[in-house]
């Protein structure tokens, strides 16, 4: 025998249990071929109900005006843009896992990448709703697209960060969707080939684009994956950078900050991984995939969370320092009064954010807690609450008391239709995610198979025997050959 890749015995296996290729296919495709459980139906109908409530909230807002929301002359953006940034941020973990971890050859990504990419796409779909429907005249939304038109010299304003957003988000969505779908092709073909009903065969046959599994197909597939990974990598950094420009390039004290791009990117990955954790912990339990999404996977993601959480914490402290050091009275007011002063109207939101994003992730320095499912699930929710408040703090506590004290605002809290819109995006997200869980292979079958023989538990155990029998021969013949 000869090895293509050798993985140290020190490393935890990426696939637990006694698996062979067939068993992997069985485990992952079975949920697609079975009738969904009662729980699935309950979850799905709740999601659809939320989605419908969201649709009605948007109907109200479009028919009667943005005045259905509690924004005002001073606070032009509130929950709408907060939710937008929050959802976009969540998407980032999927792209990081699929692109950057692929380029860095992190084997553990294979267990979670499919679902994380799906999460990215659904999150970006939710995010996109907010900048669209927050427009006062959404029926004129096509004005933001630079297409040839009959309006003479009227064209979009390339100086506006909102326009950059249009490009950033649409590019991000397109590339993520392509990447996700191209990865799905071989797995759809697997489902098609196992299909016992004509209808399923036809549907998955169409979805698989005629994948035959030939070497040529695999070769092109690998090249395409690398190209798309290369395209996605800068997007991990650029999308949230551009979103941060909405604030950083303005003159509002508390928004006008050069630290925003890296700080937003770190925060995006932070919240994204938290969301992946929330979803994965549920998915592995419900679909019985504990062997593929192992404690090792969860621990790896918790490490990313504590890292990015600490970066975000550094950014918060840097902001405070610069506000003091810069001696700009408006910025000082934004940081030390609007936010830092616990007794000011919105002080509570700043401290809630600090606690959720900076203090609580520090638990994950402990290996025991990193590998504890309950703690991880709880923390993943805390982190996403914290990251929602980060965006809320940035947006609302900056504008509600800015330059002219005469225009300082009264207390802003959302109307039922603002909340409804937000709940509606949860409905959209989970409706999509439930459909994904039912009809799509939630783990990349082909990719798991690629790491199975080096990182599967049973294969590693077999390797141990060979290694022990004649260690010297093993290293000279096999390991060196592999590297």
Comparison of 129 and 455: residue with beta carbon closer to other proteins: 129
For residues 165 to 184, the per-residue mask of contacts with other proteins, x marking binding by CB under 8 A and - elsewhere, is -x------------------
For residues 224 to 253, the per-residue mask of contacts with other proteins, x marking binding by CB under 8 A and - elsewhere, is ----------------------x--xxxx-
Residue of 15, 31, 44, 77 that binds other proteins (CB under 8 A) = 77
Please check whether residue 392 is in contact with residue 35, taking contact to mean a CB–CB distance below 8 angstroms: no
Residue of 48, 163, 322, 352 that binds other proteins (CB under 8 A) = 163
- Phi/psi region, residue 210 (left: phi>0; alpha: psi -120 to 50; beta: rest), is left
Q: Least CB distance from residue 91 to other proteins, whole Å?
A: 21
Q: Least CB distance from residue 355 to other proteins, whole Å?
A: 20
- Our finding on whether 8 is near other proteins (CB under 8 A) is no
d(CA 425, CA 440): 21
Interhelix angle 260-286/373-399, rounded to 10 degrees, is 150
Q: Least CB distance from residue 322 to other proteins, whole Å?
A: 18
Residue linked to tokens 């203090």:
359
Comparison of 346 and 430: residue with beta carbon closer to other proteins: 346
d(CA 483, CA 396): 54
Please check whether residue 319 is in contact with residue 306, taking contact to mean a CB–CB distance below 8 angstroms: no
3-state secondary structure of 15: strand
3-state secondary structure of 456: strand
Comparison of 166 and 306: residue with beta carbon closer to other proteins: 166
Comparison of 171 and 341: residue with beta carbon closer to other proteins: 341
Residue of 35, 73, 198, 368 that binds other proteins (CB under 8 A) = 73
Residue 223 in tokens: 């090249």
CA distances, 11 to each of 97, 216, 241, 317 (Å): 19, 33, 35, 36
Residue of 41, 321, 403, 475 that binds other proteins (CB under 8 A) = 403
For residues 416 to 445, the per-residue mask of contacts with other proteins, x marking binding by CB under 8 A and - elsewhere, is ------------------------------
d(CA 433, CA 425): 12
Residue of 159, 212, 214, 374 that binds other proteins (CB under 8 A) = 159
- Our finding on whether 406 is near other proteins (CB under 8 A) is yes
Q: Least CB distance from residue 249 to other proteins, whole Å?
A: 8
Q: Count the alpha carbons within 13 Å of 196 in the hemisphere toward its beta carbon.
A: 5
Please check whether residue 91 is in contact with residue 117, taking contact to mean a CB–CB distance below 8 angstroms: no
Among 418, 397, 416, 415, which residue's Cα sits nearest to residue 75? 397
- Our finding on whether 74 is near other proteins (CB under 8 A) is yes
Residue of 40, 218, 377, 408 that binds other proteins (CB under 8 A) = 408
Comparison of 289 and 399: residue with beta carbon closer to other proteins: 399
Among 122, 109, 75, which residue's Cα sits nearest to residue 418? 75
Comparison of 151 and 483: residue with beta carbon closer to other proteins: 151
Residue of 18, 45, 52, 67 that binds other proteins (CB under 8 A) = 67
Please check whether residue 441 is in contact with residue 93, taking contact to mean a CB–CB distance below 8 angstroms: no
Residue 414, number of CB atoms within 10 A of its CB: 17
Residue of 89, 131, 183, 296 that binds other proteins (CB under 8 A) = 131
For residues 248 to 267, the per-residue mask of contacts with other proteins, x marking binding by CB under 8 A and - elsewhere, is -xxxx---------------
Query: Which element (helix H / strand E) includes 200?
Result: helix 198-207
HEC secondary structure over 155-176: CCCCCCHHHHHHHHHHHHHHHH
Residue 124 in tokens: 């970006």
Please check whether residue 478 is in contact with residue 3, taking contact to mean a CB–CB distance below 8 angstroms: yes
Q: Which of residues 298-357 bind other proteins (CB under 8 A)?
A: 329-330, 333, 341, 343-345
Region from 67-75, 107-115, 259-267, 437-445 binding other proteins, contact rule CB under 8 A: 67-75
Which residues are CB-neighbours of 304 under 8 A, at least 6 positions away? Answer: 269, 270, 273
Going through 195-266 in order, the beta strands assigned E by DSSP cover none
Comparison of 60 and 221: residue with beta carbon closer to other proteins: 60
Q: Least CB distance from residue 172 to other proteins, whole Å?
A: 17
d(CA 207, CA 6): 35
Residue of 41, 143, 324, 475 that binds other proteins (CB under 8 A) = 143
Q: Least CB distance from residue 171 to other proteins, whole Å?
A: 16
Q: Least CB distance from residue 170 to other proteins, whole Å?
A: 13
| Site size toward other proteins, by CB under 8 A | 59
Residue of 23, 72, 225, 458 that binds other proteins (CB under 8 A) = 72
Residue of 12, 36, 60, 340 that binds other proteins (CB under 8 A) = 60
Q: Which residues bind other proteins (CB under 8 A)?
A: 60, 63-68, 70-74, 76-77, 131, 134-141, 143-144, 154-157, 159-163, 166, 246, 249-252, 329-330, 333, 341, 343-345, 399, 401-411
């Amino acid at each position: 025998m000869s090895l293509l890749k050798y993985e140290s015995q020190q490393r935890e296996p990426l696939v637990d249990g006694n698996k062979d290729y067939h068993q992997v296919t069985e485990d992952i495709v079975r949920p697609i071929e079975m009738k969904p459980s009662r729980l699935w139906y309950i979850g799905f109908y709740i999601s659809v109900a939320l989605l419908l409530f969201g649709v009605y909230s948007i109907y109200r807002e479009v028919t009667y005006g943005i005045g259905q929301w509690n924004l005002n002359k001073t606070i032009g953006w509130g929950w709408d843009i907060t939710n937008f940034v929050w959802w976009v941020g969540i998407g980032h973990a999927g792209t990081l896992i699929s692109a950057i971890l692929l380029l860095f050859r992190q084997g553990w990504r294979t267990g979670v990448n499919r679902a994380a990419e799906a999460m990215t796409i659904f999150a970006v779909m939710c995010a996109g709703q907010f900048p669209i429907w927050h427009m006062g005249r959404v029926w004129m939304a096509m004005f933001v697209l630079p297409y040839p038109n009959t309006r003479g010299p009227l064209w979009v304003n390339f100086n506006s960060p909102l326009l950059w957003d249009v490009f950033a988000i649409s590019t991000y969505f397109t590339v993520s969707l392509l990447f996700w779908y191209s990865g799905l092709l071989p797995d759809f073909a697997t489902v098609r080939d196992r299909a016992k009903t004509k209808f399923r065969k036809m549907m998955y046959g169409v979805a698989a684009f005629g994948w035959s599994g030939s070497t040529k197909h695999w070769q092109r597939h690998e090249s395409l994956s690398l190209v798309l990974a290369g395209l996605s990598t800068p997007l991990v950094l650029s999308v949230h950078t551009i979103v941060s420009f909405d604030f950083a390039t303005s003159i509002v004290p508390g928004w006008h900050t050069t630290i925003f791009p890296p700080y937003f990117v770190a925060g995006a990955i932070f919240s994204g991984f938290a969301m992946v954790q929330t979803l994965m912990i549920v998915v592995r339990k419900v679909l019985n995939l504990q062997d593929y999404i192992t404690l090792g996977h969860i621990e790896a993601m918790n490490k990313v969370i504590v890292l990015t959480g600490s970066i975000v914490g550094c950014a918060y402290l840097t902001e405070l320092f610069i506000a003091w050091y810069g001696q700009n009275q408006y910025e000082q007011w934004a940081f030390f009064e609007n936010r830092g002063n616990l007794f000011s109207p919105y002080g509570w939101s700043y401290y809630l954010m600090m606690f959720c994003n900076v203090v609580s992730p520090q638990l994950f320095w402990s290996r025991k807690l990193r590998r504890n499912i309950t703690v991880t699930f709880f923390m993943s929710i805390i982190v996403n609450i914290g990251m929602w408040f980060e965006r809320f703090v940035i947006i609302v506590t900056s504008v509600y008391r800015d330059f002219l004290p005469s225009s300082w605002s009264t207390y802003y809290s959302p109307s039922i239709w603002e909340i409804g819109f937000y709940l509606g995006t949860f409905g959209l997200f989970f409706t999509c995610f439930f459909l994904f869980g039912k009809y799509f292979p939630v783990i990349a079958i082909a990719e798991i198979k690629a790491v199975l023989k080096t990182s599967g538990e049973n294969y590693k155990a077999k390797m141990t025997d060979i290694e022990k029998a004649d260690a010297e021969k093993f290293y000279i013949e096999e390991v060196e050959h592999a590297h």
